[in-house]
Structure formats: structure tokens, C-alpha cells
Chains A and B, each alone.
Chain A
Amino acid sequence: MDLRLGVGGPPTSAEKAAVDAVLGDPESSWLGGERTAAGGHIARGGHSARAQRHLLLPALQAVQASSGWVTPGALDYVCTRLTIPPAEAYGVAAFYSLLRTEPAATTVVHVCDDIACRCQGAEALCAEMEKRFGPPSEPGDTRAVSWVRSPCLGRCEQGSAALIQRAGQSPEMLSIAPASVAKIEHALGNGNGSKPLLDPTSPVRTDPAHRRLLRQVDVANPGSLSSYRAHGGYQMLRRALDMGPQGIIREIKEANLLGRGGAAFPTGLKWESVANNPVRPHYFICNADESEPGTFKDRVLIERDPFGVVEALTIAGYATGAERGYIYIRGEYPEAAERLCEAIEQARTQGLLGASIMGSEFHFDIELHRGAGAYIAGEETALFNSIEGHRPEPRNKPPFPTQAGLFAKPTGVNNVETLANVLEILRIGGAAFAELGTPTSTGTRLFCVSGCVERPGLYELEFGATLGELIAMAGGVSGGRPLQTVLLGGAAGSFVGPAALGTPLTFESVRAIGATLGSGVVLVLDDTIDVTDILRRIAQFFRDESCGQCVPCRVGTVRQEELLARMISRRPLGSPERELALLMDIGGVMRDASICGLGQTAAAAVQSAVSLGLIGGPSDGDRVAQQ
């Protein structure tokens, strides 16, 4: 590879130091270091240089944190270090919304205006932000402090959320929830008061006696491995090592565990298929790129029980014969990432990661990868590309990850909540686990309840409870107002009406009414909420988050947003019936012909709203007009 480098000029010394902190010092002048007499006679490059591409995103993140944007000089230096063509590295940098590729403010406040926060006055917060900080940032905005609207920040139960991204000598990422302009100013260092930025006890509503997945939450100290072990932590890994990989997989299959990330694939089958694959090495990934609007369960699990995640991933790695595990956590969860980082470090020190774990012959270590602002990176094959240092564009399946996944090797991928179930299965046994819930939906499920309810928060329920029972547990609709609709499963899920209150929240019953549990989102909307506004935000979300690779999703999400805008402003092209047919056609081609789940579900919520008559019906105009 003959790279054209040097056009971008040299990096600043701060940028060089930031990149070197990730990649180590350059070994020779070939890699951007000092020129020495010996260095000129040694050719570096080839496969070993190119095999470091997985360090591209961490290096770009370091540059972003140092300069506030990925400068040409720094990009050039990263490319020199890693033997990557600058055009490709730029293509990667320009994909992620937490990276900038032109001069930008050193401090950016991301304010969530997504579906759950909208129900709690996100627009009012944005208006206040505008009053205090001026209009939201646009390309080329280099004010010292700027702000942008953000997709869901995963703090839906707290009503509002912001994320501060500060670059410079002491870069930091800070979450604020519930968010207010006063708190944001305080965090920026120019306000008064000393309110905590985060409510450390964000609501976990299930009472401790009924917690299984949330067993350790608020019991063990999330910052201390000894506290975790004192409360029974790592006993399941011990048990797993005694059972052996086949024994573990047998239990998981007997438990009939289905994946909790949204696709509900049988976990035991997935593990077995990785374990039995003769190609080596195997990898196992914990998918913590939770970005589905309205979802916060994985964040709570990680922030309050990080060792549980590490232990479960270690067990998964052991069962599937993996030598390395990865946790891919979304870039908007700095506090959770910090917790995981500490947990992995402590586990290493106590011999629970690394060589000969617990004195066995099992060697396993975990790498933590942080995303940089891309919903699509949570799609498993896009996630592989993100870790590998490519643009997180989904791959076509087949081949499936269990055949050719990360670095084209057999790979298991499970959501955080799915892995949490593994600990419970080992604790009580697969057969006992299968007794929980219903025959096809076994165990318990975490529900992210937000919107217009008295007690939003995380609820752990045995499968089988109805939607109405869950909402009643959450104190019912706020102020006793009438329920308008519930969004089940997040932006990629569907709306259901009051008629669905009696539906048990199981995979099969929810599927039977044409909906999905998705990532466990239950967003409750009362009669004061303008559903068209929520729909429009969903359409904007998919247009923003489409990777742009395939035509149905790249253009279909744009056309869907345009069409909704026309329906809402009641300026149809031709008759409303024609518009409705067009909306259904756009949805059909996205669902049938898109490469991945994003495009295939991008129309689901909108289409469910149409069939419920929430939009597009004859009464729609009157109803909106009345509000």
C-alpha cells in the first residue's frame, strides 16, 4: 500500500501525545517517530502494520478529545501510525456523531430531545438552551461552548438528559440527568450551586425480593470486586468451570433463553454453534451499544452491577471456547464505561481475567470498546466493523456471526441483559429457569418504563404479566389521565392502543398482536401527547441513524420523514389516501429489501400508528386541531 501522507501537515504536540497514549510511542521514522540512522534501513509495514486497524477508532477518539475535532494533521499522523489510507480513516471519522471533521467548539452539550424526553418537556429545555447559549450548533460553529440536539441518551426514566463533551487538556464526558440549564452551567464551571449531575439512585422499581437480573443492584458496591464476591459474585463462574462448556450450553438450552436485544434468537443455539465451529480463534462480544430510543436497562445493569457483566461474559467465553471477549459500549455512556473499565481491571488483578482463571486452564481477557455516536453500530455485524476500524455498515447475512463474525472468525454476540440471565440460569439451573414465565418466554424481563406514568423506571417482571399490570405497577398514567397509546419496543417497535392492556408481555403474545417487545421499551403516552410529534421524531431518528449503505433505507427514511411532515401539516400531495398508500409502499420496500434490521424496522412504528388510526385517519386532523 502506497499511502499519500503528509498533505495534512504535522499534528500538534498535544495531538501526537494523545495518539501515542493510545498506540504507544512510534518505533521508527516510518511510523512518524524520530529519524534514526538504523530506522532508514528497516522497512515497516505489511500485515503487522495493517493488523492494527482496530485501534483506529480509539485513536480518532483521542484526537477528538484533544482538539475538539479530527484535524487533518492528526488524521495524517494516525494513518501513518496504522498504515491506513487517509480517505478511509476520514470516512470512518465522518460516520460518528461524537467525532467532528471540521473546526468545532471545544465544549459541546448534547441535549436529548428524543421520544421519552419529549414527553417530559425536552422542547422547553431546548428553548431554554437556545436562550442561554444561542442557537444549536451548525457545521463550522467554533463558539467555545455550543450545543446540539441529541438522540436518546438512555436516561429516559429521569425525564431529561444532557451529555457534555469537553475537549482540550483535560477532556471529559459528563452525563447530566435530570438536566436543566442551571445544572449544565454548573457542570461547565460557570454557574453556582453544587447539585449532583446524576441522581445516583435512578429508579429500579422491582422490590429486592423479586429481583433476579437485578439481584446485585444496590446490594453489592459496584466499585468493589470484594463486595461483589462477598455477595455471591463469581460463584457462578466457579460453577461454570466445574460444569464444563457442554454442561453450560445444555443448561442454557434447557432454560430456553431467548436473546433480549430485540431479535429473540435462542441463546443456547447461538452458543452451541460458536462452540462447535472448528475455525479458531473464537470471540465473544457483549453488546452494550444500547441506543434504541427509550431503552436504559443495559446502562443500569452496567452502572450498578458491572462485575455481573464481566462474570457473565467470562462464562460465555468459556462455554464457546473464546479466547477474547469484547464489550462494545455506546459512547454516550461515559460513567458506565468507566465502571466497566474499573471492573475489568479489578478482575484482572484478582486472576478472574487473564491466564488460568480460578486456577483452571481457561485463559480469557476482555477488551472494552467505546462507540462514538452511531445507533447502527449496535447491529451485530456493524459492531464488528466498528471494532475492526471500518465504517459501521452492516454486513449481508449469511455468513452469520457464528460462522464468520469479528475478524471473520466465529463470534457470539449477546446483549447485556441476555448475559445477565446466564448467571441466573446457572444459579437455579436451566430446568428451574424454564419454569419461570411461560413455556416459550422463560425467565424474567427488564422493562424500561417511561413517559406519562407516575413511577417511571426499570421493572423486572416474570414473563406473563400484562401490559396493564405493568403500567399499574408504575402507578398508572400520570395524574390519572386517559391512556392514549403505548410505544412497545422502542423506535423500531410499534404503537399499541388501550385494547392491548390485557396482552401478556411475552414474546408470543406481543407478536400475536403484531408488535414486538424489542429492547423492553414501554413508553406510555397519555391524551395530552401529540403522537404526530413523536412519530416525526422517530422518522427523523431513522433518517439520522441510517448508515446510508443500501438504497431502501438511505432514501426511504428521507421520504418517510417528508411524507409524515406533509401529513402532519395537512398539505398532502394529491389525496390523503394516495399519501397513505405511498407511506405503506415506502415501508414495504424498506422492510423487504433493506440489508439490516434498522431499515427493516424503520417504518414499523409509523405503520402501526396508521393502523391504530393515530395518524392518517379521518379524525386525525380534528384531534390534532383540538389540542
Chain B
Amino acid sequence: MSVTFVAAPKRLLTMTVDGQTIKVPEGTTLLQACQQRGIDTPTLCYLENLTPVNVCRVCVVEVEGSRTLVPACSRKAEDGMVVKSDSDRVRASRKGVLELLASSVDLSLASPEVHQWMERYGAEPDRFGPSSAPPPGNPRDRARPGEHVPADGLAAATVSQPAKLDNDTYIRDYSRCILCYKCVEACGVDAQNTFAIAVAGRGFEARISTEFDVPLPDSACVYCGNCIGVCPTGALMFKSEFDMRNAGTWDESKQTITTTICPYCGVGCNLELHVQDNSIVKVTSPLDHDITRGHLCVKGRFGYQFVQHRSDGSEAQQ
């Protein structure tokens, strides 16, 4: 006899999104309600396999009766709620948030959607002036909370800084970091429970850091690479990809993706092998896979060198 588990039925709520009345089950977020209406809502810090932190504020929508805009990713629908996802206030805020981000962070490797949203909302990050030159060294890692050199306003401050290269598996280029907290969540209770990184500092100098900014090999990092898997801007990147980009050989148009199952243990994680020129250049896992939810361990993520070991003893061309 087979048993089917049925969840308790959820109450249906009636709400209005952009003038259309819809019914959604209790517990639905405004983001899901917008998706149900086919409305493309920009998100940066949201990912379906992580707890929403609602910090990027690019998904904000207007809710009638609410003094400020509310984050669609985490706000739950309520009966009778009237939501506007494309009002002037919403468009202005989304434009502003994208401008502020793009003027302070290198978004060149963010997904194509981010650039489409910037175009849709007419974001002009240059409005704040030319970007300031990166300061020598990386004073951000030593910045003291509550102190800063007063601005002269002639150039817009950025988080520009050298990439951190301290191990053979992945790099951390925090000049691309939008502080979406995803890597911290993936390293913590949402996936790995390793807690090697956290947000340190505050304000514009808030940053992702190990304790005392020690290099990863001295930290609790176990190199599962789940932080890379969730990073939306390329701040965290396979060392192989970083090196190929620097050498000018990274070419996604020449890459194929092969889905397979990790051979190391019996869990059965799905792997997506990104292959260029007959070499594996990076490994990911699908977010919607019911075992991995996109997360892997160090072996599945980085232990692929044996595949490229040829019978004649040579290694595949990197």
C-alpha cells in the first residue's frame, strides 16, 4: 500500500497586485505573488535555497497603508493587501538602489538580468561622479567602525580592492561584493554549518571576513565552495575560472555543461561539469535538485582532477 502525505490545506488569501485581484495560499511572499502574476521582480540577495535577508532592497514594492516600501522577497501576503509593483515610488527606489550599488561595486560579472534591470529602471551610476581610485593596500579590512576620512566629493567611493588569493580552489574578489549575505548564509545554518565567514565592520566598511581577516587556510573553511555557488556577482570564483579570465582564455560560448552524479559517496549529488576545451573548468549543482539544493562538498566541487588524468599519464590541457 502506498501512502501519500498531504499537507494541511492552506487558507487562500485575496489580494490585489497591480490592480488585479488574485488568490494566494497563506504564507505566500509578495515576490511569489508577483511571480504568479508573471511580474518580473528584480532580486539580488534573494535565492530560493536560502533564508531571505531582505538587505539589497531592489525587490521593494509599495503596499497600501505602509509608510515605506516593503521587501517583496520576505514580506508575507495578507488578506486584502493592495500591492503595487511598478509605481513611481517603486521604480525610483529600484533605480536608486541599482545606481548606488553599481556606483560602488564592480557589477561587470553579475548576471545579464542585473544589466537588464539597470536598463529597465534607467539606472545611471555615473551620476555620482567618477569612481575613486582604489586606495593603496586594503584599508577596508582594517577600517575601524564609526570612523572614516571625510569625503571631498570629487570622486565616488567604491569598495575596490585587490582580490584575495590564498588557496588553490577559489578566490575572493570583494571589489565585486554587494554584501548580499548569501555566502555567509551558505557557510552557516542554511547549508554548510561551518561559519568560517561573517560580516564584520559596519556601514560602508562592512565586509565579509574571517576572524581577524586571516587567510582561508587558517580559518574554519572546508572548501565546500557553496559560497561560490550562491554568489551573484562573481566575487567568489573558482581559481580555475579566475586564472582563465586573467589569461583571456575563459569563453563561455565554448563551454558545455554535462550533468552527472558525484562518484564519491552514496548521497547521489547531481554535478554539472562545465567543460571547455575538453577540460573541466568549474563544477556546480542545480539549485532545484532535491538532494543538493545547489550545495556540494569539497570532493564534488573541487575533486575532479582524476577525470582529467589520461591513461598515458598526462593531464588534460588546462
Residues of A within 8 A of B (CB): 1-4, 7-8, 72, 75, 85-91, 94-97, 100-102, 139-140, 148-149, 151, 373-374, 376, 391, 396, 398, 536, 540, 543-552, 554-559, 561-566, 569, 571, 573, 582, 585-586, 588-589, 591-595, 600
Q: A589 to nearest B CB, angstroms?
A: 3
Chain B residues contacting A1 (CB-CB under 8 Å) are 193, 195
The docked-state distance in angstroms from the alpha carbon of A401 to that of B142 is: 35
With A91-B209, A139-B139, A546-B202 already in contact, the answer to whether A589 and B156 are too (CB < 8 A) is: no
| CB of B241 within 8 Å of the partner chain | no
| CB of B101 within 8 Å of the partner chain | yes
* Known interface pairs A551-B56, A573-B127; 16 further A-B residue pairs with C-beta atoms within 8 A, sorted by A's residue number: A75-B211, A87-B197, A89-B211, A90-B209, A97-B146, A139-B139, A540-B148, A543-B203, A551-B58, A552-B57, A564-B153, A573-B129, A582-B127, A585-B96, A592-B92, A593-B57
Q: How many residues of B contact A (CB 8 A)?
A: 63
Chain B residues contacting A595 (CB-CB under 8 Å) are 54-55, 57
Residues in B201-245 with C-beta less than 8 Å from chain A: 201-206, 209-212, 214, 218-220
Chain A residues contacting B203 (CB-CB under 8 Å) are 543-548, 554, 557
Interchain CB contact (< 8 A) of A558 among B93, B157, B212: B157
Cβ-defined contact, A548 with B146, below 8 A: no
Cβ-defined contact, A94 with B145, below 8 A: yes
Interchain CB contact (< 8 A) of A592 among B68, B143, B196, B197: B68
11 pairs, CB–CB < 8 Å, chain A vs chain B:
A4-B219, A7-B218, A87-B195, A90-B211, A94-B201, A374-B145, A396-B71, A544-B148, A545-B146, A548-B179, A592-B68
| CB of B151 within 8 Å of the partner chain | yes
Cβ-defined contact, A139 with B142, below 8 A: yes
Q: Whose C-beta in chain A lies nearest to the C-beta of B74?
A: A396
8 smallest CB-CB distances across A and B, nearest first, come from A548-B206, A589-B96, A85-B195, A565-B153, A97-B146, A91-B198, A4-B220, A566-B153
With A86-B211, A90-B211, A593-B69 already in contact, the answer to whether A550 and B202 are too (CB < 8 A) is: no
Cβ-defined contact, B68 with A593, below 8 A: yes
Residues of B within 8 A of A (CB): 54-58, 60, 68-69, 71, 74-75, 89, 92-93, 95-97, 100-101, 103-104, 127-129, 139, 142-148, 150-154, 156-157, 178-179, 193-206, 209-212, 214, 218-220
The docked-state distance in angstroms from the alpha carbon of A85 to that of B152 is: 39
Cβ-defined contact, B179 with A543, below 8 A: no
Q: A499 to nearest B CB, angstroms?
A: 27
The docked-state distance in angstroms from the alpha carbon of A461 to that of B89 is: 39
The docked-state distance in angstroms from the alpha carbon of A588 to that of B148 is: 24
The docked-state distance in angstroms from the alpha carbon of A547 to that of B200 is: 10
Cβ-defined contact, B56 with A558, below 8 A: no
Chain A residues contacting B68 (CB-CB under 8 Å) are 591-594, 600
Cβ-defined contact, B57 with A551, below 8 A: yes
Chain A residues contacting B54 (CB-CB under 8 Å) are 396, 550, 595
Chain A residues contacting B127 (CB-CB under 8 Å) are 573, 582
The docked-state distance in angstroms from the alpha carbon of A195 to that of B197 is: 49
The docked-state distance in angstroms from the alpha carbon of A139 to that of B205 is: 14
Chain B residues contacting A591 (CB-CB under 8 Å) are 68
Q: Whose C-beta in chain B lies nearest to the C-beta of A542?
A: B203
Chain A residues contacting B144 (CB-CB under 8 Å) are 97, 100, 139
Q: A93 to nearest B CB, angstroms?
A: 8
The docked-state distance in angstroms from the alpha carbon of A552 to that of B178 is: 12
Cβ-defined contact, A555 with B147, below 8 A: no
Most buried by A among B68, B71, B156, B193: B68
Q: Whose C-beta in chain B lies nearest to the C-beta of A585?
A: B96
Cβ-defined contact, B211 with A95, below 8 A: no
Q: Whose C-beta in chain A lies nearest to the C-beta of B189?
A: A1
Q: B180 to nearest A CB, angstroms?
A: 9
Q: B108 to nearest A CB, angstroms?
A: 18
Interchain CB contact (< 8 A) of A87 among B56, B196, B205: B196
Chain B residues contacting A139 (CB-CB under 8 Å) are 139, 142-144
Q: Whose C-beta in chain B lies nearest to the C-beta of A581?
A: B127
Chain A residues contacting B101 (CB-CB under 8 Å) are 551, 555
Cβ-defined contact, A592 with B69, below 8 A: yes
Interchain CB contact (< 8 A) of B128 among A85, A90, A140, A582: A582
Q: B205 to nearest A CB, angstroms?
A: 7
Interchain CB contact (< 8 A) of A91 among B154, B156, B200: B200
The docked-state distance in angstroms from the alpha carbon of A338 to that of B209 is: 35
Interchain CB contact (< 8 A) of A102 among B103, B128, B142, B193: B142
Cβ-defined contact, B92 with A556, below 8 A: no
Q: A530 to nearest B CB, angstroms?
A: 15
Q: Whose C-beta in chain A lies nearest to the C-beta of B129?
A: A573
Q: B226 to nearest A CB, angstroms?
A: 15
Chain B residues contacting A540 (CB-CB under 8 Å) are 148, 150
Chain B residues contacting A551 (CB-CB under 8 Å) are 55-58, 97, 100-101, 178-179
Chain B residues contacting A374 (CB-CB under 8 Å) are 145-146, 202
Chain B residues contacting A592 (CB-CB under 8 Å) are 60, 68-69, 89, 92-93
Cβ-defined contact, A562 with B128, below 8 A: yes
Chain A residues contacting B89 (CB-CB under 8 Å) are 592
The docked-state distance in angstroms from the alpha carbon of A140 to that of B195 is: 27
Cβ-defined contact, B204 with A557, below 8 A: yes
Q: Whose C-beta in chain A lies nearest to the C-beta of B150?
A: A540
Q: Whose C-beta in chain A lies nearest to the C-beta of B205?
A: A548
With A97-B147, A582-B127 already in contact, the answer to whether A593 and B201 are too (CB < 8 A) is: no
Q: A487 to nearest B CB, angstroms?
A: 20
Q: Whose C-beta in chain B lies nearest to the C-beta of A102?
A: B142
Q: A211 to nearest B CB, angstroms?
A: 35
The docked-state distance in angstroms from the alpha carbon of A86 to that of B212 is: 9
With A554-B206, A565-B152, A571-B154 already in contact, the answer to whether A593 and B147 are too (CB < 8 A) is: no
Q: B153 to nearest A CB, angstroms?
A: 4
With A75-B211, A582-B127, A592-B92 already in contact, the answer to whether A559 and B69 are too (CB < 8 A) is: no
Cβ-defined contact, B220 with A85, below 8 A: yes
Chain B residues contacting A589 (CB-CB under 8 Å) are 92-93, 95-97, 100
The docked-state distance in angstroms from the alpha carbon of A555 to that of B98 is: 11
Cβ-defined contact, A586 with B104, below 8 A: no
With A374-B145, A564-B153, A566-B154 already in contact, the answer to whether A548 and B204 are too (CB < 8 A) is: yes
With A85-B198, A87-B196 already in contact, the answer to whether A554 and B96 are too (CB < 8 A) is: no
Cβ-defined contact, B100 with A550, below 8 A: no
Chain B residues contacting A549 (CB-CB under 8 Å) are 55, 179, 206
Interchain CB contact (< 8 A) of B153 among A91, A391, A563: A563
Cβ-defined contact, B152 with A569, below 8 A: yes
The docked-state distance in angstroms from the alpha carbon of A550 to that of B142 is: 21
With A72-B212, A565-B150 already in contact, the answer to whether A547 and B56 are too (CB < 8 A) is: no
Most buried by B among A536, A549, A564: A549
Chain A residues contacting B152 (CB-CB under 8 Å) are 562, 565-566, 569
The docked-state distance in angstroms from the alpha carbon of A87 to that of B184 is: 10
Cβ-defined contact, A373 with B145, below 8 A: yes
The docked-state distance in angstroms from the alpha carbon of A91 to that of B199 is: 5
Chain B residues contacting A95 (CB-CB under 8 Å) are 145, 200-202
Cβ-defined contact, B145 with A96, below 8 A: yes
Q: A90 to nearest B CB, angstroms?
A: 4
Cβ-defined contact, B198 with A88, below 8 A: yes
With A75-B211, A550-B57, A566-B154 already in contact, the answer to whether A555 and B103 are too (CB < 8 A) is: yes
The docked-state distance in angstroms from the alpha carbon of A544 to that of B147 is: 6
Chain A residues contacting B128 (CB-CB under 8 Å) are 559, 562-563, 573, 582
